[in-house]
A and B are shown apart, each in its own frame.
Chain A
């Protein structure tokens, strides 16, 4: 997280609040909700990739599984949205724990492949199991009143609820990263043997952050299920995982705002090019290639780097050293 001065941070936060409050009157709430759900999913993935150094290809499984459970809970069991979302998140956490147990012990590409394998497993299970509705998915999930009280049938109300949830998710990530726990994670990421030699049980920390990341991805999926009232197999495919990854990279790994910027761009693009479906895939691939080759830090990352360079130039060391006192 970029260290702006406190005044700047407060101004930025106030600005963000104003934008968030006003946005649904300028753009379609559903569009904004979609951006926020994907931003949260990408942020969850970003947490894992950037701060734990673990590249997961299977985050869609948390996203989709939580979505299915929440949709089922709300539609069939009649739970109200808050409980439904909580159940979805819990399921995602459990899946994350089981997957993590097996995946954490392996390094690098093996870790990624295990996550991919588990994701495919979940996908096939979802395809076959009855409660997921197979190819059709779960549709017409009713919009019950939040906590039995707040009416969510209108898009504006739903938008505010999603904004709150997303803000909570991002705040959770911020707290995880800027905490002793986050520091230890960074240490493990940078030099695991050394961290272990200092007495930290690296695998436990990695498993914990994996579960946190899975839960947040599940939160995104559950929220999306409640807001859009439908869950399909597409939410579970590795294409969705790939999109989340693209958002992370485009926005900037190792930044908190990167996923937001990336989500805005990617979701907007798929909306405005909705009529040209194949173009979307091509453009996404092109963006991937260009970003990886040229702008590895992503949009937000490059901006921060530019800010750093500017600050460094201001504090440049004078060319002639001061004369020492005699």
Chain B
């Protein structure tokens, strides 16, 4: 058949692919945000800027050191994660004793600082990044680029392994315990401040990795985090702040929803996620998978 719900099949599959791609990034980014919020109770407004940093690191590795995509995938999250570690140690840690809103504002300020710095250096136009996985698959009438398949598969793998580490391993158990009752966990001899620092680094590293993976698809420019971050916040809120599985499922789900809305109801595509968020908050205030805050 050539049509589905009255839309040509090739267009449907094309939009589905786009939705899954966007969903992959939504899922990866909201995963990082959820982890950070779950343990540190900090809303990391710098997440979009750290994503942008990751893309620029990947681009810089190629441009100045000739390091290609695949090594960059390993190096970028480490570099960006290190930046996160420093940020936590020097800045965020001092704000745990005061109202959580100050930490949020700090990350907001850091995001502005980073965006301003990169705009100053690189301007607002984008730098291209070559596609490392050229070619693709013919599926009937549609052409599916191989790189996009890789992105979707990689994000799924990353999301599920992160979920596994947090929910099914000892380290994850420590993290979840510290989330519930940090002082008590400290009395067991576990270095909670270091765990907080590493958690923040992990979340930031995930953002950086998303940026590196995004580089061949979207142009590498200082504003790339901006439009993404607001949508990702909506995803995290719908999924439930602090819920790992919620972020993953909601990320992919909303990406697909957005992609398909573009097909059936193009004008609403920009706002469908926010409408979904408002609807979710009206019905299930703590998100689809969230729990009551303590």
Contact = CB atoms under 8 A, between A and B. Distances in A.
Interface string A239-276: 00010010001000000000000000000000000000
A121 B282 contact: no
Given A285-B110, A288-B105, A110 B237 contact: yes
Contact of A292 (B106, B234, B267): B106
B28 to A, nearest CB: 19
A99 to B, nearest CB: 9
Contacts of A296: 98, 102
Given A281-B119, A283-B116, A118 B278 contact: yes
B230 A238 contact: yes
Contacts of B271: 120-121, 124-125
Interface string A283-325: 1111111001100100000000000000000000000000000
Interface in B93-113: 94-95, 98, 100-102, 104-106, 108-113
Contact of B116 (A117, A121, A128, A285): A285
B14 interface: no
A55 interface: yes
A113 B234 contact: yes
Most chain A CB neighbours (cut-off 10 Å) among B95, B109, B233, B277: B109
A114 interface: yes
A234 interface: no
Nearest to A242: B108
B115 interface: yes
B274 to A, nearest CB: 4
B78 interface: no
How many residues of A sit at the interface, in one of the four size bands?
35 or more
A130 interface: no
Interface in B38-87: 43
Contact of A116 (B98, B116, B233): B233
A105 B37 CA distance: 21
A102 B237 CA distance: 14
B157 interface: no
B263 interface: no
Interface in A103-121: 105-110, 112-114, 116-118, 120-121
Given A113-B237, A292-B95, A105 B106 contact: no
B241 A109 contact: yes
Contacts, number: 114
What's the interface size class on B, roughly?
35 or more
Interface in A62-112: 102, 105-110, 112
A31 interface: no
A117 B276 CA distance: 10
B109 A117 contact: no
B113 A114 contact: no
B6 interface: no
B140 interface: no
A279 interface: yes
B189 interface: no
A289 B267 contact: no
B171 to A, nearest CB: 26
A280 interface: yes
Interface of A: 55, 102, 105-110, 112-114, 116-118, 120-121, 124-125, 127-128, 238, 242, 245, 249, 278-289, 292-293, 296
Given A113-B234, A121-B271, 10 more contacts: A106-B285, A114-B281, A249-B105, A279-B120, A282-B120, A285-B110, A289-B106, A292-B102, A293-B91, A293-B106
Interface of B: 37, 43, 91, 94-95, 98, 100-102, 104-106, 108-117, 119-120, 230, 233-234, 237, 241, 267, 270-271, 274-275, 277-278, 281-282, 285-286, 293
8 contacts: A108-B100, A113-B237, A120-B234, A245-B108, A284-B109, A284-B116, A286-B109, A293-B106
